[in-house]
Every structure is written in structure tokens, then in C-alpha cells.
Amino acid sequence: MTRNIRVTVAGATGYVGGSVVEGLRSHEFWVRALTRDPARLKNPQFCDDVFVGHATRPETLRGLCDGIDVVFSSIGIRSFARKPTVWEVVYTANINILNEARAAGVKHVIFISALRAPEMARICPIAVAREMVVGAIVGSGLRYTIYRPTAFFNDIQEVFYSAAKRGVYYQIGNPEVRMNPLHGLDFADEVAQAIVDSSRWNIIRPVGGPEILSRRAIVALAFQALERPVKVRRLPTGSISLAAALIKPFHYNLYSILKFMEFALQTEDMTGDPIGRRRIGDAFRELFRRERASRGGSRPGAPDQPIADLNSAAVVQQLPG
């Protein structure tokens, strides 16, 4: 009975972690969410317990894993802020959580790295840090499941926002890069299965959504949802490389994010094993429907009515089905 399995979710205020909290609760697991600020939890109603602590400060994590069977972590860096650093967030925070899990006798650790992270690590500090965490987990003696996901819906739907606001999409890099965008709740279902299915233990698995699309096709779906003709301006991947080189001495976190983008936007195959059932075209149409309803039937992105800054995770997670 899953209700007897207790799971700590680190990264619960983010899109992926928040989806995992909701998904695990729907599968009747007992869920504890780690957060620095409970007010930032988007779905506290799905938490059985909220643990307040800072993953980069181990003294605040004492007791985080007491009575816990499984720890899931999606902690990573998405902010352009200079501090805390990539190494503090991606590596140190996750190692602190791993240490707590081992000390408390946790049985199973589930962690998100990045798709093709070993290759990406040649140029990207974020991938290096994530793979160092993977190595520590695999060598910990605990049961583990490591996921390397492709892009999640909350990243891809920025294509919709950009097209809606400007009427044109500026596409950097190779438009033929293939990916299969993954909905957070579909990933949460996979995590729930990994907890109880021994065939998903002690593996490293690339995952993505059910539909493989080129970046060109994803842009076309966004304009189709907006009921507009496709308008794209292409920019070379080298523009990211140049920006990263210029910014590195002054802003290492931003440099690291740009190198992540550089790899992802020029690597032709960014697909993982297909899981789930939700499709990005449906997400774009739902965004359009909600935005049009919010402005009384007028089309999103009209010159006199710029599109609202919607909460991406909240909108995507409320898709039908």
C-alpha cells in the first residue's frame, strides 16, 4: 500500500518538484516537501508535511529524512542571480540531502540529471555538477533511480509566450533539433512507478514525452494555437557561445546556463524514452484559450493588449486529463 511509503521531495517549489508532489499524492504516497519558504509552495494541499530548510545549509536539514523511505530531488539552478553559485545549488545542496538520506536510513534516492549530461559536461558546468551528484548517489550504496529528462513543458511553452507577445519567434540554433517535451505530471507518474517497480531500481534512464518533434515543428504548433501565420527569425548558435564567453568573467551562473542552452540547441537528438500522454500542442491551445478568456474573447498578444505573464507551472499542470 503506497500510503505507507513516505517520500521527501526536494525542489518542491519548482515546476518539476511541484508536479512530483501532486503526482505522488495522487498515487497515495505520504509526501514531505522541503522548502525555504512555505509560501512559495504552489500546491501545499498535496503535502502531508512541510519541512522548512535551506538545502545549501546542512545544519537546517537535520530531521529532513527521519522516517522517510524515498528521497526525490530536482534541485537545480534556473535563476540568473550570481549567488548562490551553480556549485552551491546543484552540487552542494544535493550532496547535503544525500548525506541526510544516508544518515536517516533512507532506502531509495531518485534524482534528476540532464539529458546527455556526460556529453554536455564537456562544455557546461551545470552538467558537471549534476554528474558529480550522480556519481555520489550511485556510489552511496543506496537504491537509486537517475532520470535524464528532455525539456519540460514549462520550458517549451516560452515559445508560445514569445510568439504571442511579438508576433514573431526568434529561434537560436538548429531548428531541426528533435525533442519530446515532457509534462511534469507525466514525469510524476513515472517517479511513482520507480518507487514500487524493481525494474526501475538502480538504473539511469533518459525520458521524454510521447511525441517527438523538431524545434521547427514546436514553433509551428505555437503559432497554430495562436491562430497566426508562422513568422520566425533565425539566429546562429554562435551568438550564445559568444555571449557566454563575454559574460564568464563577470557572471558564472549566467555563463553556465548559456552553455547548457548552447549544447541543447545544437545537439540534433535531444529525445528520451517516451513516457506519458500529454502533448505540447494541447498545452499551447489551453494557454491560448485561457488567455483569450481572460481578456473577454480578444486574441492574446494584440498590440493594445500584451499577453499576461501567466504562472507557467500552474497553467500547464491544470491541463485537462
Distance of CA 84 to the CA centre of its chain: 19
Query: Taking each helix axis from N to C terminus, what angle separates 158-166 and 215-226, rounded to the nearest 10 degrees?
Result: 50
Beta-strand relationship, 232-235 and 203-208: unpaired
- Could you identify the residue written with the cell 516537501? 33
User: What is residue 298's predicted lDDT score, i.e. its pLDDT?
Assistant: 67
Give the pLDDT confidence score for residue 310 in this predicted structure. 32
Q: Where are the domains of the chain?
A: 2-151+181-208, 213-270+278-317
* Residue % of the chain over a pLDDT of 70: 92
Mean pLDDT by 10-residue block, N- to C-terminus, for the chain (321 residues)?
Answer: 90 96 97 96 95 98 98 92 94 98 98 97 97 98 98 95 94 95 98 98 98 98 97 92 95 96 95 98 96 76 37 33 32
* Distances in whole angstroms, Cα of residue 57 to Cα of each of 62, 105, 238, 267: 10, 20, 38, 36
pTM score, two decimals?
A: 0.91
* Count of C-beta atoms within a 10 Å radius of residue 81: 11
pLDDT at res. 294? 82
pLDDT in tens, 105-160: 999 999 999 999 999 999 999 999 999 999 999 999 999 999 999 999 999 999 99
Q: Count of residues for the chain?
A: 321
The single-letter DSSP state of residue 265 is H
Residue partners of 140: CB distance under 8 A and separation at least 6: 98, 102, 109
- Confidence (pLDDT) at 153: 97
The fold adopted by the segment(s) 2-151+181-208 is Rossmann fold (3.40.50)
Q: How many CB atoms lie within 10 A of CB 64?
A: 24
